[in-house]
Structures are given as structure tokens and as C-alpha cells.
Amino acid sequence: MPRYKEFDPKDCLDKVMYLFWQKGYQNTSMSDLVEHSGVQRYGLYETFGGKEVLFQRALDLYLSTVIHQRLAMLERKQPEPSVAEIEQFFEQFIEHVDRPYSFFGCLMCNTAVEVALHDKIVASMVQQYFDRLRQGFARSLTRAKQNGEIADSTDIGQISELLVGSVLGLTTYARSSAPRQDVRTYINGILAMLKLL
């Protein structure tokens, strides 16, 4: 019976997540996964299953690490978030726009466009992310309205959906070859819009 070199599944999954994030599901082959992770094909299959399951595990990791950190200010309990936290959420994209991985976009948003229409499990995971975004924005806007920071006439559901769409647009724009200054200007436009609520 063949034996394979032992490896750390957590480290392997982290490398796999970054590869899917960079290249997307369709453009990542099992050979790419083997080369990038340093784990033989049979080791990947035995530990994680095929490419589809490995991708789902990578999405889980992305949700529990990158997305958890990105949404921390919107999902905190005390003090409850308000407009300042929505601004902080978008400002973090400005902080990262000049870094090489900004061209990766967002793994969840990339997946929403590339894979989710064809895979119910993946679609559910993408929807989970969008729901968390929507709920975080709605909580913050509700608090802002209670504090008198935004107009009483503000439609919280409408603005929350606009902001969710803005995240998808922003991360797709960041993934493109657009100049980084243009992406930065786009983010500043979102921040300017928030001042008008």
C-alpha cells in the first residue's frame, strides 16, 4: 500500500484557499493544487476528497478567517455599530488596495459570479456571506437612525442592499486591471454617499 508524506491539513488548506482566491475554481486544476500545496494528489483526496469538496472547505476557511475579520466591526454586540463602522468597513479596502492580493478581489464575491449559479452548496455559502453583510449594514443603519445620524426617511432595506451590491462591485473592480487610484476613488465615492444619508 503506497504511503505519502505526512502534512499539516490546516497549512495545506490555507495554501489551497489562497490558490482558489487567486485563480478561481475553474482555472485551478488538481495539478495546480498538488504543486501549490506540496501534497500529493492521493494525499489531498484521502484527506479532503476531490476538488469540489476541497473548494467548499476553502470557502469555509475564508468565511471563518478573512470574512470574520472583515465583518468584525459590523457584527460586534457592544457597543452596537453605526455609520462609523460602515465607514470603517469600506476604509479597510483602501488600506489594502495597493497590496498585490487586492487583485484577487474577494473569494466569496468571485465565487458568486463564477460558481454559485451551478452549485447549490456553494450558492448557500455565498448567500450566507451576503446575508451577514446585509444584516451588518441593516443593524448599523438602524442604530444610526436611532441616534439621529441619518435621516428618518432613510430606507434601511434599500440602503443595505445598495451597500451589499457595492461590496460586490468594489471587489470585482479591484480584481480587474483598473488603476489602483481608480479603485480608491470608487471606495471614496461609497464613503461620500454615506455622508449624504
What is the CATH number for 48? 1.10.10.60
pLDDT above 70 for 4: no
**What CATH number did the domain enclosing 170 receive?**
1.10.357.10
Its pTM stands at 0.88
Pair 194, 162 in one domain: yes
Question: Which three three-digit cell numbers place residue 84?
Answer: 462609523
| Mean pLDDT value of segment 157-167 | 97
What is the count of structural domains for the chain? 2
**pLDDT value at residue 36:** 87
> Which tens digits make up the pLDDT trace of 171-186?
999 999 999 999 999 9
DSSP state at residue 54: H
**pLDDT value at residue 7:** 74
Pair 21, 41 in one domain: yes
| Main-chain dihedrals φ then ψ at residue 129, nearest 5 degrees | -65, -50
Question: Which three three-digit cell numbers place residue 20?
Answer: 482558489
Question: What type of residue is 79?
Answer: P
pLDDT above 80 for 76: yes
Which residue range is the domain that position 59 belongs to? Answer: 9-65
**pLDDT value at residue 101:** 75
**pLDDT value at residue 5:** 53
What are the CA-CA distances from residue 34 to residues 12, 30, 185, 189 (Å)? 10, 6, 39, 42
38: left (phi over 0), alpha (psi -120 to 50) or beta: left
Euclidean distance between CA atoms 190 and 4, whole angstroms: 50
| Mean pLDDT value of segment 21-43 | 89
Pair 55, 96 in one domain: no
Euclidean distance between CA atoms 194 and 74, whole angstroms: 15
